[in-house]
Each structure stands twice: as C-alpha cells, then as structure tokens.
Structure 1
Amino acid sequence: MSSSATIPENPIDTLSRTLDDCLPQTQCTQCGYEGCLPYAKAMAQGQADLNRCPPGGDATIAKLSAVLGLPVKPVDPSCGATIERHIASINPEHCIGCTLCIKACPVDAIIGSNKHRHAVIASLCTGCELCIPPCPVDCIDMVFIPQHSEWTTEQAFEARERMHGRNKRLVRQKQEQDEFLEGKAIRKLDSIAHDGSDPEADKKRAILQAVLAKARAKRQSGGQAS
C-alpha cells in the first residue's frame, strides 16, 4: 500500500498566516506594504516591526507580540494614528460615476456603474481610505457612524474573503480580455491580403504577429512578461 508524500509547509508561510489572522484586514497600506498579508510576511521574515498597523492599534500589537514573542510597543506614529473606525461616504451631488473608487476598493464595498452615482455599503467598508486619492472630484469623505465604529475579527475575516474573491475576479476578467484581444488580432491577421495588393501588408502582418507572440508568451509565463 503506497501513500503520497506530504510536503512539509514552510515555517515562514505558517507564521505569515498566523500573523495575518491577527491583522484587521483593512488592506489600508498604512504599514508601508500592499496589504495585510504582505505585512504579515515581512514580519515573519523579520523585515518589519509589529507596530505598523494603526487600524489594529494596541489590541493588534498585543496579538502580534504574543505570536512573535516580542515586547509590546506603541503604534509607530509614522504609519498614522489609531482612531475609531470611519466609513467612506460619497457625496451623491458631486459623484460623476467615474468608477475609480470602485476599482480602488480592495473589498468590494462600493457599488455603482459607469456614469451613475456610486454608494458605499457601510457595513462592508474597512475604512482604508484607498478610494479617496483616485476620486477626481474630491467627493469622498470619511465619516464616523457609531453603529459601524467597531471592527470585529469576524468582519476582518469576511473582508479578507471579499478581497480574495475580488482578486480572483480581476484575474479572470484580465484573462478574458486578453483572450478577446488575441482573437481580434488573429481575425485581423487573417483578413490582411496575401496577394501583394497591399504594399504595407507584410509590415502589418509582422506587427500583428509580434503582438500575438508577446501576448502568448505573457500568458504562458503567468502574466509576468513585459
């Protein structure tokens, strides 16, 4: 009777996930990293201190301290100040429906469509403020709503799941768009005359073939080709 060998997990990965569970999952980037998990990985590798999460504040630092076996310390003021949870609010009179805030929200807490007013789902908003910088008309404010001032561990985990779902959707949409553009290029390539009637035909075909080759190489490498 045979059994497949189980590959032991990298201890750094295990620690990273444990530290990530301690973080509030706001994905605000105030820590200097692209999100909570990248920050957790940096801590696990000894590349980041445990006091760089203003949204989590003292409670999060205490959790991280217990996991890492390091002393508790105040939140690093260079990362920001710990405040009660605030919710993004979009002024409907000024919103132009550009969708930039929707694209910036890491947890799908903003609804709306192109050229239509957007709105924030208060119960889902992490208060990350990432929707504010891209707004071209400055119509987003952070407001304090008492019933939404707390941020529980359950909410944090739900926000993380929404982020994962959003990221998977974006990857899928990118793949679908790439496939559409590749098909369009193939159809264009097939339509170019081969009979010499177009003196620019060879040049056009070469350009399209180069575009297709680059697109296929990028897809085969997992999107890393430039």
Structure 2
Amino acid sequence: MSTATLADALNDALPQTQCTRCGYPDCRSYAEAIAQGEANINQCPPGGAEGVVRLSQLTGRPALPLNPVNGNEGPRQLAVIDEAWCIGCTLCLKACPVDAIVGGSKRMHTVIDPLCTGCELCIPICPVDCISLVNVTGEATGWQAWSQPQADEAKERYTFHRQRLKRDADERSARLAARAQVLAQEAGLPVPGADSKESRIAAAMARARRRSGT
C-alpha cells in the first residue's frame, strides 16, 4: 500500500472531530503523519482505545495505550452557548471546523446540536466565556460515543468549511485588488498587473464610474 493510499485509509478510520488534540491541525494531517512514520497511532483521544486498534490494524503496528499527553478518552461533549451572554463576536463561527455554529455579527449565536463534534475549539476563543460543554453520551466513550456515519458527515462538513474559507479569502483578495486598480486608474497612476483578470474588472468598473459621473 502506498503512503498516500495508507493515509486515505487512516483518515477514514479517524473520528473526524478535527479537534487538533493529536498535535496536528486536522485528522487528515494526522493520518498523513502516521503514514509517513512521523506520528504514533495513539494520539487521538476522541477515537480512544478502539481507535488505536483501528489504526493498528491498518499500519501493522502494535496497539498502544492512548498517550495521556494528547488527552484522555471520554464521552462526547456538546458545546452549548449561553445566549444571554453571547455578544455576537463571530469568533466561534470562525473556530468551528464543521460550521456547527450559526449566528450573525452582534447577534446571538447557537450550536446546531447534531453537527457538533465536541472539538472544544470554540471554548478558548470566546471572549466572554459563554460557551460550555455538556456530556451527551453518558458513560459511552470513544467510538462507542460516536459513529461512522457521524464521522463521515463531519469530514464532509470540514471539507466544505475549508473550501468556504478559501473561497471567502479569494473573493476578498479579488475585491481588494479590484479596488486598488480603480484607485490607481482614477489617480492616473500605473496599474499593476494590468493583464490580470482583476485589472480588467477594475478597468471596466472605472469606465462605468466615469460614464455614470460618480
């Protein structure tokens, strides 16, 4: 099995909470590190002991106890926002890797319970400490508190989350570039990157502004 194929299989075997407790930025990065021999198979607290066994079977490495440095196996937690204290800063929206939090700027936010992976990444980012965690699986821990369909959905939502962030960043860069082009043209300055798509858009916008007299 190639390293890339092994990384795919390992990623599919992870719970996809994207909690970063393994020491990597997401489940995929951890899977790649394992496949390349750069990480141990016992660094995923959400997967717990059963998760280590899954990774052991794929890699042929012996199953090890979960590394306490990365955290302990436990029940799945659900983030809950105290809506009376929420100031609508939107920081938790940006921190949630699966877009399980909804709300607008300066407006109350709330968590979509079925989508929350319990990653805890929204907790430290909240400036008013209005987010807490509640146990939603009782004594069930690890994969007993999670399911493969839930992991699959979380992976899809994380993929969409990353695509959305990239799209938003690209659109913002394009807007800034277009605005810079317009300002340069209006000031009679050389327009950088005149052959770029953004420059052509900026030129069209400038012509329209001149025609409208604005």
- TM-score, length of structure 1 as denominator length: 0.80
Would the aligned equivalents of 2:10 and 2:31 in 1 still touch at CA under 8 Å?
yes
2:165 corresponds to which of 170, 173, 189: 170
Who is 2:136 aligned against? 145
Taking the aligned partners of 1:17 and 1:96, their CA distance within structure 2 comes to 40
Alpha-carbon offset, residue 146 of structure 1: 4.0
Distance 1:88 1:135 in 2: 12
The CA RMSD over aligned residues, in Å, is: 1.6
Q: Tell me what 2:178 maps to.
A: 183
SS in 2 for 1:141: strand
Change in CA separation of 1:146 and 1:11 when aligned onto 2, cut-off 3 Å: closer
Structure 1 distance, partners of 2:38, 2:137, is 36
Q: Which amino acid is the alignment partner of residue 166 of structure 2?
A: V
1:152 positional shift: 0.4
Matches within 5 A, 1:77-96: 77-96=68-87
Counterpart residue identity of residue 124, structure 1: L
Q: Name the structure 2 match of 1:197.
A: none
1:1-226 map, 5 Å? 11-146=2-137, 150-193=145-188, 205=189, 212=192
Q: Deviations over 1:86-144 (max 9, x none)?
A: 10011111100000000000001101110111001111100000011111101111111
For structure 1, the 5+ residue unaligned runs are 1-9, 194-204, 217-226
Structure 2's unaligned 5+ residue stretches are 197-214
Task: Number of aligned residue pairs: give it.
Answer: 189
Give the share of equivalent positions with the same residue, in percent. 47
Rounded Cα–Cα distance in structure 2 between residues aligned with 1:85 and 1:65 = 23
Distance 1:95 1:175 in 2: 30
| Matches of 2:119 and 2:60, distance apart in 1 | 28
Deviation, structure 1 residue 145: 2.3
Q: How far does residue 73 in structure 1 lie from its aligned partner after superposition?
A: 1.1
SS at match of 2:133: strand
Distance in 2, matches of 1:146 and 1:128, equals 15
State the secondary structure of the residue aligned to 2:93: helix
- Quick one: distance in 2 between partners of 1:23 and 1:157? 10
Moved over 4 A (4+): none
Larger relative contact order (Cα-Cα within 8 Å, sequence gap ≥ 6):
2
